[in-house]
């Protein structure tokens, strides 16, 4: 079914605003997506009429807030087709999620000389927590490079696995090139635990955890049209059983005495302190919104955007698209001889076109491409082919200025 993009756009109040006297063309969705009215209203309702702290209270509002908050666990499980709801652990986003795995699962288990396989496509959130283990425990990071076109064949990742490999930490979709990695083939091809960074992929395509076969899968709410500070990681029950708590505090214990602690069962065991109650309620509303539209329909629309953008950008012989794998999302990292990415972004901004410029928290990938920065246009479900054309016109204007 094709998307009713006009109706979707009407749900996002910010999309009708002007920027620098021009209609906003928002192409920075890879960094963070805009929010539909349904999310804004859910957040407002939670604060205006249904707010209290969760779990500990016995009064009406606390029970209501707890119900609203805990329902989101089930919504996330449904969104990801996760086998069990209690395998979903709330986090403030993917960064906290991956640190939870690093501190809670990997740090107590890995010793000097053990290996973690990761790809050069990774975001720093899926690099730095593993560097901590390298620095502190002598864990070895084994890097797998993509092909020059940005694709990452699963066989290449599996070929890096050796007898000392304890974890594969891999993105499902690059935030720089949009490359989609066949993480299912990786997970099915090895006994080694696989952590998948789904921060980008879950926004743009259906995710079926029951079929993927990985061990850890994280999402981050603000890219999913939900509030910042929301997110989750799905951790299979047997891996949860191998973990020690990461943060300590309220809510994650059953009893505390002067001499001992008895931890709460997962998932609460891994959710110390007052959580981002309303953020997660907003995330629930965002995921309900996405599921009502249908992730297959969103993916189909974004394929049209990708193909249109690819055709138009490839036709510009003065522009380089960094990493243009056949299987990729609608994310384009662009460089232009003689124009810095920051200049491109500033000039596009004057025309109302919002793109991001820099290293996109992916310095090893920038190094792989021999660049320090790119201008990144990243599309979402509310973007249109007219907006692709506005980007191309803006780039052509840049080219005239710098030629
Ligand atoms: C692929 C990828 N992984 C991880 C992250 C980190 O997500 P967050 O900053 O929301 O924790 C991002 C955000 O840009 C990302 O694109």
Query: How many angstroms separate the CA atoms of 140 and 134, rounded?
Result: 6
When pLDDT is averaged across residues 173-193 and rounded to a whole number, the result is 98
Structure tokens at 227: 């509030």
228: left (phi over 0), alpha (psi -120 to 50) or beta: beta
Question: Can you state the percent helix, strand and coil of the chain, rounding each to 5?
Answer: 45, 20, 40
CATH number of 40-292: 3.40.640.10
Q: Is the CB of 230 under 6 A from ligand 1?
A: no
Q: What is the mean pLDDT of residues 128-135?
A: 98
Centroid of ligand 1 to alpha carbon of 359 (angstroms): 13
Q: Would residue 53 be called left, alpha or beta, if left means φ above 0 and alpha means ψ between -120 and 50 degrees? A: beta
Query: What is the value of pTM for the model shown?
Result: 0.98
Q: Are 223 and 30 in contact (CB under 8 A)?
A: yes
Of 125, 169, 197, the one to substitute when testing ligand 1's pocket (max ligand atoms within 8 A of C-beta) is: 125
**Separation of CA 403 and ligand 1 centre (Å):** 35
Q: Does ligand 1 have an atom closer than 6 angstroms to the CB of 175?
A: yes
CB-based contact 61:50 (threshold 8 Å): yes
Q: Is the pLDDT of residue 2 over 90?
A: no
Residue 171 Cβ inside 6 Å of ligand 1? The answer reads yes
Whether 115 has a pLDDT exceeding 90, the answer reads: yes
- The closest-lying atom of ligand 1 relative to the alpha carbon of residue 222 is 10
Instruction: Specify burial of residue 146 (Cβ count, 10 A radius: 0-12, 13-18, 19+).
Output: buried
**Can you tell me whether residue 300 is helix, strand or coil?**
helix
Ligand 1 atom having least distance to the Cα of 125: 4
Looking up tokens 């007898």, which residue turns up?
A: 163
Binned at pLDDT 50, 70 and 90, residue 403 comes out as confident
Q: What is the mean pLDDT of residues 147-168?
A: 97
Average pLDDT over residues 382-386: 98
Which residues are tagged catalytic? 361
Distance from Cα 88 to the centre of ligand 1, integer Å: 18
Q: How much is the average pLDDT of 314-330?
A: 96
What residues pair up with 328 in beta bridges, in sequence order?
179
User: Which residue minimizes the CA distance to atom 13 of ligand 1?
Assistant: 31
- Identify any residues that bridge with 55 across adjacent strands, giving them in sequence order: none
In the structure encoding, which two tokens stand for residue 5, read together? 């993009």
In three-state secondary structure terms, 58 is coil
pLDDT tens figures, 14-47? 999 999 999 999 999 999 999 999 999 999 999 9
Rounded Cα distance, 364 and 171, in Å: 14
Q: Does residue 390 surpass a pLDDT of 90?
A: yes
Q: Is the pLDDT of residue 56 over 90?
A: no
Residue 206 neighbours by CB under 8 Å, 6+ apart:
295, 296, 299
Instruction: Summarize pLDDT for 73-112 with one digit per residue, the tens.
Output: 999 999 999 999 999 999 999 999 999 999 999 999 999 9
Check residue 1 and give its pLDDT.
Answer: 67
Whether residue 125 has its Cβ less than 6 Å from ligand 1:
yes
Instruction: Kindly state the average pLDDT of the residues 311-335.
Output: 96
Ligand 1 midpoint to CA 121 (Å) = 12
222-238: average pLDDT: 98
Domain ranges of the chain: 5-30+295-402, 40-292
Q: Which atom of ligand 1 lies at the shortest distance from residue 220's CA?
A: 10
Q: Which atom of ligand 1 is nearest to the CA of 94?
A: 11
Residue 360 beta carbon below 6 angstroms from any ligand 1 atom: no
Q: According to the model, what pLDDT value does residue 57 have?
A: 81
pLDDT at 141 over 80: yes
- Rounded-to-integer distance, Cα 64 and Cα 57, Å: 10
Return the C-alpha torsion angle 129, 132, 134, 138, nearest 10: -130
> Can you read off the two tokens belonging to residue 125?
């959130």
Q: Is 356 helix (H, G, I), strand (E, B) or coil?
A: strand
Q: Which CATH number fits domain 5-30+295-402: 3.40.50.1970, 2.60.120.10, 3.90.1150.10, 3.30.70.3280?
A: 3.90.1150.10
Q: Within 13 A of 203's CA, how many CA atoms are on the CB side?
A: 32
**What is the Å distance from ligand 1's center to 262 Cα?**
33
Q: What is the mean pLDDT of residues 148-172?
A: 97
DSSP class per residue in 178-228? -BBP-HHHHHHT-SS-EEEE-TTHHHHS---HHHH--SEEEEEGGGGTS-T
DSSP annotation of 339: B
Give pLDDT tens digits for 264-310.
999 999 999 999 999 999 999 999 999 999 999 999 999 999 999 99
Query: Which of 29, 94, 204 is the best mutation target for the ligand 1 pocket, counting ligand atoms within 8 Å of the beta carbon and taking the most?
Result: 94
**Cα–Cα–Cα angle for 287, 53, 239, nearest 5°?**
55
Contact 330, 379 (CB under 8 A): yes
């Amino acid at each position: 079914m094709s998307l009713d993009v006009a109706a979707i756009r009407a749900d996002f109040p910010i999309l009708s605003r002007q920027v620098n006297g021009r209609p906003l063309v928002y192409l920075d969705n890879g960094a963070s997506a805009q929010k539909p009215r349904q999310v804004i209203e859910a957040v407002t309702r939670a604060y205006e009429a249904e707010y209290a702290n969760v779990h500990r209270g016995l009064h009406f509002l606390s029970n209501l807030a707890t119900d609203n908050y805990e329902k989101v666990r089930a919504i996330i499980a449904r969104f990801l087709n996760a086998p069990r709801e209690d395998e979903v652990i709330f986090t403030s986003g993917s960064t906290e999620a991956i640190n939870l795995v690093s501190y809670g699962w990997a740090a107590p288990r890995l010793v000097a000389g053990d290996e973690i396989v990761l790809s050069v496509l990774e975001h720093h959130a899926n690099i730095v927590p593993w560097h901590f283990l390298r620095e502190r425990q002598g864990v070895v990071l084994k890097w797998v490079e993509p092909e020059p076109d940005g694709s990452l064949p699963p066989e290449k990742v599996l070929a890096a696995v050796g007898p000392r490999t304890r974890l594969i930490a891999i993105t499902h979709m690059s935030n720089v090139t949009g490359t989609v990695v066949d993480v299912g083939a990786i997970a099915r091809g090895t006994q080694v635990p696989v952590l998948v960074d789904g921060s980008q992929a879950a926004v743009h395509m259906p995710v079926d955890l029951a079929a993927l076969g990985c061990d850890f899968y994280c999402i981050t709410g603000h890219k999913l049209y939900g509030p910042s500070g929301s997110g989750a990681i799905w951790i299979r029950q047997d891996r949860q059983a191998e973990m020690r708590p990461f943060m300590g505090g309220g809510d994650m214990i059953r009893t505390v005495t002067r001499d001992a602690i008895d931890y709460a069962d997962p998932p609460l065991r891994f959710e110390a302190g007052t959580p981002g109650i309303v953020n997660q309620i907003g995330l629930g509303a965002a995921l309900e919104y996405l599921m009502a539209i249908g992730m297959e329909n969103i993916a189909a629309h974004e394929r049209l955007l990708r193909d249109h953008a690819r055709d138009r950008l490839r036709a510009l012989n003065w522009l380089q698209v960094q990493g243009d794998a056949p299987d990729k999302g609608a994310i384009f990292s662009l460089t232009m001889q003689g124009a810095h990415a920051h200049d491109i972004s500033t000039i596009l901004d004057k025309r109302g076109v919002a793109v991001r410029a820099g290293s996109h928290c992916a310095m090893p990938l920038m190094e792989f491409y021999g660049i320090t920065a790119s201008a990144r246009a990243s599309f979402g479900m509310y973007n249109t082919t007219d907006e692709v054309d506005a980007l191309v016109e803006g780039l052509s204007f840049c080219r005239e200025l710098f030629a």
